[in-house]
Structure 1
Amino acid sequence: MKVHPNAAAPALELPMPAISCRGGVGGRQEVAVLTVWRKSLLFNCSGFTVFDANGSLVFRVDNYGSDSKGEVVLMDAAGKPLLTIRRKKLSLGDHWLIHNGEEAVNPRFSVKKHVNLFNSKALAHVAPCSGGGGVDYEVEGSYSQRCCAVYDEQRRPVVKVHRKEPTASGVAFGTDVFRLVVQAELDTSLAMAIVIVLDQMF
């Protein structure tokens, strides 16, 4: 379930282009370093709160109770739905679909949990759904340890997830606060959607 706060509350309005099956980002030319907090800002909700390098709210996920079991909505800072992640029904294995906005048809990307026992590093496979070509991605590493990466077809890491460094006083954040580093080739909303799927899977 999504929550739409008063639009006047967040002062920041970031351009969030629709994700492209080519992995484009609508003109972003630099690496995005995001801080992901595995917690909703709303009381009695689970979810995610994501900040940019300046500490401004970029993404949010707010789930009530068991509503996140089959559907999760990624929103921008103002509560506008960017992507909806849904578990694919009647499918073998753990399989999720990523839709633009709140659409229920024509998914843009498919994420399947990896089941090959001979490659213990592989977590999931991400593929475009449109049938018009596009980029496939492989996720490897350990999400539970917040140490994993998303690789493109040329084996270039386009997304990295790693733990946030301890504070100057030595306070560690654990696994609920971590870094999400996204290369310019990939849309940040898609990168965060992949993180959400990994959280559901693992």
Structure 2
Amino acid sequence: MPKVYPNVLPSPAEAPAAAGPAREDEATTLTVWRKSLLFNCKGFTVFDAKGNLAYRVDSYDAEPAGAEVVLMDPAGRPAFTVRRKRLSLGKQWLIYAGEEARRPVHAVKRGGGGKSMARVAPCAGGGAVASYEVEGSYARRRCVVYNGERRAVAEVQPKEAVGSDVFRLVVQSGVDVSLVMAVVVALDQVFGRPSFLRSWSPWIHSNNFSPI
């Protein structure tokens, strides 16, 4: 089977911006790989349905619980920055637009009551108004993101026969794909065992798989 790599790695001048709200009626399906394509780096590599690079996270942070993760488009432009909230003991992460460091857009907090495993709430002054609830199990790669009207807007699904470090993310039309991917990055920091900043599955290092 072919190795996981983007079909075309565009130059910064040619690369399109990371996906925003979907314009088509069909849902957006991404393959998420908990690995950086850069040597000696940890992070995420995300492919679209055609196998092209859609997003990436590359971190040289050797700490087991890094305080900042940057979600980038294929050219390395920041889409969102995810930072651990101070004094939250890793249970709450803030999402900033781009590299904005002053006002977070959303806060991702563990728990929320009932079936909720996490709540994504808008932050005051950040410009966002929508809130979301995440139900299911991120550790099992089976969780659903609901909006305030209890409509499922995104879902994390396991990808068959490739282990937990590779999974599928399905985002419904009209939803900001970049924001959902940033929420997934935050969920990985809150619920990931181990965190992607710490170690990787030996299976993924010894096997190749197709991103589609």
Class of the TM-score when normalised by the shorter of the 2 chains: 0.7 to 0.9
2:179 partner SS: helix
- 1:21 alignment partner in structure 2: none
Alpha-carbon deviation of 1:115?
Answer: 5.9
Alpha-carbon deviation of 1:110?
Answer: 1.0
- 1:188 alignment partner in structure 2: 177
Would you say the 8 A contact 1:50–1:59 is kept in 2?
Answer: yes
Deviations 1:86-140 (A, max 9, x none): 0111347711111011111111111111164xx3x42110011145672110001
Percentage of matched positions with identical amino acids: 55
Would you say the 8 A contact 2:18–2:74 is kept in 1?
Answer: no
Greater mean alpha carbon deviation, residues 126-135 or residues 79-88: 126-135
Superposed CA RMSD in Å reads 2.3
2:50 partner SS: coil
| 1:13 maps to amino acid | A
Choose the corresponding residue for 1:103, options 100, 103, 123.
100
Alpha-carbon deviation of 1:17?
Answer: 6.6
Would you say the 8 A contact 1:60–1:75 is kept in 2?
Answer: yes
1:69 partner SS: coil
Between the two proteins, the alignment pairs up a number of residues equal to: 180
The answer for unaligned runs of 5 or more in structure 1 is 1-7, 19-24, 166-171
Would you say the 8 A contact 2:90–2:190 is kept in 1?
Answer: no
Greater mean alpha carbon deviation, residues 90-99 or residues 77-86: 90-99
- 2:86 alignment partner in structure 1: 89
The structure-2 alpha-carbon separation of the partners of 1:140 and 1:57, relative to structure 1 and needing over 3 Å to count, comes to same
The structure-2 alpha-carbon separation of the partners of 1:150 and 1:72, relative to structure 1 and needing over 3 Å to count, comes to same
Alpha-carbon deviation of 1:16?
Answer: 3.4
1:145 equivalenced with 2:145 (yes/no): no
The answer for unaligned runs of 5 or more in structure 2 is 1-7, 192-212
- 2:54 alignment partner in structure 1: 58
The structure-2 alpha-carbon separation of the partners of 1:91 and 1:144, relative to structure 1 and needing over 3 Å to count, comes to closer
The structure-2 alpha-carbon separation of the partners of 1:26 and 1:174, relative to structure 1 and needing over 3 Å to count, comes to closer
Q: Which one has more relative contact order, counting CA pairs under 8 Å at least 6 apart?
A: 2
The within-5 A match list for 1:1-202 is 9-10=9-10, 13-16=15-18, 25=21, 27=23, 29-64=25-60, 65-66=62-63, 69-91=66-88, 94-114=91-111, 116=113, 119=114, 121-130=115-124, 134-165=129-160, 172-202=161-191
Greater mean alpha carbon deviation, residues 93-102 or residues 124-133: 124-133
The structure-2 alpha-carbon separation of the partners of 1:107 and 1:173, relative to structure 1 and needing over 3 Å to count, comes to same
The structure-2 alpha-carbon separation of the partners of 1:31 and 1:111, relative to structure 1 and needing over 3 Å to count, comes to same
| 1:46 maps to amino acid | K
| 2:186 maps to amino acid | V
Inter-partner Cα distance in structure 2 for 1:178 and 1:78:
23
Inter-partner Cα distance in structure 1 for 2:144 and 2:102:
28
Inter-partner Cα distance in structure 1 for 2:89 and 2:56:
30
Alpha-carbon deviation of 1:15?
Answer: 3.6
